[in-house]
Amino acid sequence: MNETRRCLYCQRSFLPSRYRPQQRVCGQPDCQRRRCADSRRLLLTSDPEYRLVVRDSQKQWWEEHPDYQKERRKANPGLVQRNRQKQHIRDQKRRLARLVRNNLVLDLKHSAAEVCLVGPKVHRLDRNNLASAQVLILPSVVELSARLSSS
Residue ranges that bind Zn ion, judged by CB under 5 A: 7, 9-10, 26, 28, 31
Q: Give the shortest CB-11-to-Zn ion separation in angstroms.
A: 7
Q: Closer CB to Zn ion, residue 7 or residue 136? A: 7
Sheet holding 134-138, edge to edge: 106-109, 114-118, 134-138, 144-147
Shortest CA distance to 121 belongs to which of 107, 131, 110? 131
Measured from the Cβ of residue 67, the count of other Cβ atoms closer than 10 Å reads 8
Q: Give the shortest CB-25-to-Zn ion separation in angstroms.
A: 6
Q: Closer CB to Zn ion, residue 40 or residue 121? A: 40
User: Hey, is 68 helix, strand or coil?
Assistant: helix
Q: Give the shortest CB-22-to-Zn ion separation in angstroms.
A: 15
Q: Closer CB to Zn ion, residue 7 or residue 138? A: 7
Buried b (16+ CB within 10 A) or exposed e, 81-99: eeeeeeeeeeebeebbeeb
Q: Give the shortest CB-18-to-Zn ion separation in angstroms.
A: 18
Q: Closer CB to Zn ion, residue 30 or residue 71? A: 30
